A = this chain, B = another copy of it.
Amino acid sequence: MPKLLLHTERALNNIQMMADKASENGLKFRPHFKTHQSHEIGNWFKEYPIDGITVSSVSMAEYFARDGWQSITVAFPLNINEVGRIDKLASNIDLRVLAVSVDALKISEPVIEHEVGIYIELDPAYGRSGVDMNASSDIISIIDYLKASKAFRFEGFYMHAGHSYRNRGKKELVEFSNALVQRIKEFKKEFPFPICFGDTPSCSVLDDFTDIAQISPGNFVFYDWIQTQIGSCDPSKIAVAMQCDVVAKYENRNEILIHGGAVHFSKDSDMQAVGLPYFGQVIDQNWEVIPGVILKSVSQEHGIIQCTPEYFHKTIIGESIHIYPIHSCLTADLMGHYYTLDGQHISHLSANYK
């Protein structure tokens, strides 16, 4: 059966690296827990000075609040159907959610009995969620509403520059991230409030965090194959790999069938130079990349490995091979638990909160 392996040493190094970066730059560290979603891995962060944690749903906030976390940001716009649960959580912890307009705040205000922190979510031209950074009058109207509100406390701004994932290569990514920091500098002249800034690619390569108050990256705890293509890290930082059995060999097409498909890896893909997608990068037993050997396709339980002739011939039926997933967040969510390299079981909450 496919297993998701966790390289503890690499994950701990990744946590240390980002915690150091926060501390050296005078940033508050509010790491995003959506990638690992794990009680045990969450506890590893307690070794470092952190200001609070970040999650992507109210259910995940409830889970980590039960786990003793006292300050949690739900990095998702306030959903008026969840106001009762939000109010209840806010009675126990320092809860913060995002706002993208006055509308949802107004509807929720009468239900909130326990003050909820609000970050105004800014859209830095990603186009997913948030108020356009250039829409000053919209931003002012939310700030004005929050300042007059008894239910909500204005915490500043939250920004996820998810379009950083469109970069390919460190040079491009560094230019992108520096331009973003420049844009934040300008923005702060008009709106001098704390900014919480989030994506793993930018946080991985930035040296200058001037005008940023808090960071909340998540994926860096494991990284994954797509992050190496974006330019965030090199493969030696990737802390999770799938272990899959070789089930059959097809010599005429130089391909191997593994047990490991879309219900294990997800269907997130990167593109090969030839314009076709692929779903994972094969590594050896020492977690070193094997060039030219990739997870070419996935269906529900089947995966097809495209091999070099050398790899094809030396690989035997029944062998377990290792593969870096394209997107560790989705792979971990699907697998629902981890095994460390010495066989210890590490939990993931996905099975409990959907």
Binding site for B on A (CB under 8 A): 1-2, 34, 56-57, 59, 76-82, 100-101, 103-104, 107, 127-129, 132, 162, 245, 247-249, 252-253, 257, 259, 262-264, 266-268, 297, 299-302, 304, 317-318, 320, 329-330, 333-336, 350-351, 354
Contacts and interface: CB of A to CB of B under 8 A. Distances in A.
B299 A128 contact: yes
B317 A259 contact: no
B247 A79 contact: yes
A248 B252 CA distance: 52
A107 B317 contact: yes
| In the A-B complex, the 9 residue pairs with the closest CB atoms | A351-B351, A80-B318, A267-B267, A56-B301, A100-B248, A79-B247, A263-B333, A77-B248, A81-B245
Contact of A335 (B103, B268, B354): B354
A257 B129 contact: yes
Contacts of A128: 257, 297, 299, 302, 304
A101 B257 CA distance: 12
Contact of A354 (B79, B162, B336): B336
27 contacts: A1-B82, A56-B301, A57-B301, A76-B301, A77-B247, A77-B248, A77-B257, A78-B247, A79-B247, A80-B317, A81-B318, A100-B257, A101-B248, A103-B317, A104-B247, A104-B317, A127-B253, A129-B248, A129-B257, A162-B299, A262-B330, A264-B354, A267-B267, A300-B330, A334-B354, A335-B354, A336-B354
Q: Most chain-B Cβ atoms within 10 A of its Cβ — which of A80, A107, A333?
A: A80
Given A79-B247, A107-B317, 8 more contacts: A76-B247, A77-B247, A79-B318, A127-B304, A128-B297, A262-B268, A262-B330, A333-B334
Contacts of A262: 266, 268, 330
A297 B165 CA distance: 14
A132 B253 CA distance: 11
Contacts of A76: 247, 259, 301-302
Contacts of A80: 317-318
Contacts of A132: 252
A310 B318 CA distance: 57
Contacts of A318: 79-81, 104, 107
